[in-house]
């Protein structure tokens, strides 16, 4: 990219480089030490940036960890849209299992949940928004029974998150299908 003065500039610039370096440092350090052992100075050292850069962008460690825990699962990304409720839910659930099941993402999920305290974590807020979009889209196009958002959270999201945090050995390729089929089986039969 060239500026008005004709000087070449990197695409994304220094800010993008700092963001990538900090995210990478958080992920690496979480895998090595666990999220409970992270500090802003350690992250800054690993990312080769100043701690003040981290504080200026994120404010504090909990905000940084929450953002890194969820950035790869962008809440504005396109969700499955096959026109079929089961296929859309299954595609979404498989994505959640695959993403959250990665050891570094699982560690970040645990940290984000712990740091949320009594509040709602970014991860849950984003998954609820996705479930809402899926349910609303399917409800508008379907004449059959459609789960409501709390049912999707209770039957699909919560069991995945539980397994990621407390029983990662039970998170296998078939989990998404079992959970989605269980949700659909619990719906009242159509007329």
Question: What per-residue confidence (pLDDT) applies to 10?
Answer: 43
> Is the domain of 46 the same as that of 116?
no
For residue 19, give its domain range.
13-59
- The list of the chain residues with pLDDT below 50 reads 1-11, 191
pLDDT at residue 127 in the model: 87
- 35 and 95 together in one domain: no
**50 and 89, same domain (yes or no):** no
Domain count, the chain: 2
User: In which residue are the tokens 């995210």 written?
Assistant: 23
Domain assignment of residue 23, yes or no: yes
Q: Is residue 50 within 8 Å of residue 59, measured between CB atoms?
A: no
Please, what is the angle between helix 175-185 and helix 158-166, to 10°?
Answer: 150
Q: What is the per-residue pLDDT for 51? A: 95
14 membership: H or E segment, kind and range:
helix 13-33
* Rg of the chain (C-alpha set): 20
List the structure tokens of 147: 């789960």
Residue 11's φ and ψ, nearest 5 degrees, are: -65, 125
pTM > 0.85: yes or no:
no
Answer yes or no: do 91 and 172 share one domain.
yes
> What would the pLDDT profile of 153-185 be if each residue is shown by its tens digit?
999 999 998 998 888 889 887 999 999 999 999
Whether residues 98 and 180 fall in one domain: yes
Residue 108 lies in a domain: yes
113 inside domain: yes
The per-residue pLDDT for 107 is 76
Q: Are residues 35 and 121 in the same domain?
A: no
User: Is residue 17 one of the residues assigned to a domain?
Assistant: yes
Residues 101 and 177 in one domain: yes
Residue with tokens 């695409």: 11
């Amino acid at each position: 990219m060239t500026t008005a003065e004709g000087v070449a500039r990197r695409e994304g610039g220094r800010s993008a480089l700092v963001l990538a370096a900090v995210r990478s440092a958080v992920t690496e350090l979480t895998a090595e030490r666990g999220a409970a052992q992270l500090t802003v100075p350690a992250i800054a050292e690993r990312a080769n940036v100043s701690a003040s850069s981290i504080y200026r962008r994120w404010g504090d460690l909990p905000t940084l960890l929450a953002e890194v825990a969820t950035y790869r699962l962008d809440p504005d990304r396109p969700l499955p849209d096959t026109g079929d409720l089961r296929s859309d839910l299954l595609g979404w659930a498989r994505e959640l299992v695959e993403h959250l099941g990665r050891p570094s993402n699982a560690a970040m999920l645990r940290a984000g949940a712990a740091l949320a305290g009594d509040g709602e974590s970014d991860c849950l807020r984003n998954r609820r928004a996705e479930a809402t979009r899926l349910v609303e889209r399917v409800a508008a196009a379907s004449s059959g029974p459609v789960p409501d958002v709390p049912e999707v959270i209770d039957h699909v999201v919560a069991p995945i998150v539980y397994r990621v945090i407390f029983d990662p050995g039970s998170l296998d390729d078939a989990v998404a299908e079992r959970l989605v089929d269980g949700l659909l089986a619990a719906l009242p039969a159509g007329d």
